[in-house]
Structure 1
Amino acid sequence: MRLTDVLQQNQVIADLKGTGKRAVMEELCQVLQEADPKLNPERLMEVLIERERLGSTGIGDGIAIPHGKLENLSHLLLAFGRSKAGVEFDSLDGKPAHLFFLVVAPDKSAGIHLKALARISRLLKSGSVRKDLVEAKGAPEIFEVIKAQDEDF
């Protein structure tokens, strides 16, 4: 599975407006709701907030991967967002997050959810990839960086 099998360019936000954890997740939920009109963004937010209560999905190095599982969802959904200013996300390293992947999987699936998280982690492990994503000029360029790296795995 490649990320770009699920992530489309219109699911990339180059300049997140939100300045807090909840606002960023709401923006990313909105993008997914536009991609899948049957998605209930309020229910998705509940799931994401419940997951954040277990422990922050801010993994450090400027990265956060909020994720959860939804009932009645038939396929994996992804959104990507970037905040140049950074957002306090209770990250493990205490630093603001700049790069966000939102991952939503059907509640009955374990494998695809874990594969997506692992693939995102591998992609963002590279400091040069993170730098390219932060410096990209807009959503099309961000998508191209992800696509190019996705093909290398």
Structure 2
Amino acid sequence: MYLHELLTPPLTLCNLDGGSKKRVLETASKIIAEHTEGLAAEDIFSGLIGRERLGSTGIGSGIAIPHCRLDNASQAIGMLIKLVEPIDFDAIDNQPVDLLCLLLVPSEASDEHLQTLAMLAELFSRQDVLSALRDTSTDQQLYDTALRLAEA
């Protein structure tokens, strides 16, 4: 699955006030639920927090890819967030996180889930991508930049 298949403008947020890992995941869960039929914010948050308990999804260089499988999800859903201020995310390199790409997938989509996570990890390992995303200042600019760089 490609980034343009996951992201939508309403689920691309630039300069979100984070505060903490828990607060960001709560806020993201509410926003996703508002824009996705059949998903409840509590279920999304519970899935994301449950996954974080297994180990942080902070992959280093200020990036986190919180993800989970959800029984009620009918398709993969992505959300891209650029935070105003980096937050502690228990990342593998102990660096604070300012860019998050959330991924929710249907429970039965294990192969697709792993392939999509690998694609996201590869994309966010590129310094040109990170720099360009961090230079954005609006939701639309963040969305457009992410899609443009994912195609490159």
Deviations 1:46-82 (A, max 9, x none): 1111111110001110000110000121100111111
Q: Structure 1 CA distance, aligned partners of 2:87 and 2:13?
A: 14
Off by >2 Å, runs of 4+ in structure 1: none
Contact 1:14 1:82 in 2 (8 A): yes
Q: How far has the Cα of 1:9 moved from its partner?
A: 1.3
The equivalent of 2:120 in structure 1 is: 120
Letter of the structure 2 residue corresponding to residue 69 of structure 1: R
The equivalent of 1:20 in structure 2 is: 20
Q: Percent identity?
A: 31
TM-score by length of 2: 0.95
CA RMSD of aligned residues (A): 1.1
Contact 1:63 1:99 in 2 (8 A): yes
Letter of the structure 1 residue corresponding to residue 45 of structure 2: M
Contact 1:28 1:80 in 2 (8 A): no
Alignment of 1:2-17 (within 5 A): 2-17=2-17
Instruction: Could you tell me which runs of 5 or more consecutive residues in structure 1 were left unpaired when the two chains were aligned.
Output: none
Instruction: Could you tell me which runs of 5 or more consecutive residues in structure 2 were left unpaired when the two chains were aligned.
Output: none
Q: Structure 2 CA distance, aligned partners of 1:116 and 1:27?
A: 23
Deviations 1:87-107 (A, max 9, x none): 100011111001001100001
TM-score by length of 1: 0.94
Q: How far has the Cα of 1:84 moved from its partner?
A: 3.2
Deviations 1:16-62 (A, max 9, x none): 22210011111211221122132111011111111111100011100
In the alignment of these two chains, the number of paired residues is 152
Alignment of 1:15-54 (within 5 A): 15-54=15-54
Letter of the structure 1 residue corresponding to residue 126 of structure 2: S
Matched residue of 2:7: which SS? coil
Q: Structure 2 CA distance, aligned partners of 1:27 and 1:133?
A: 20
Point out the more displaced range, 92-101 or 33-42: 33-42
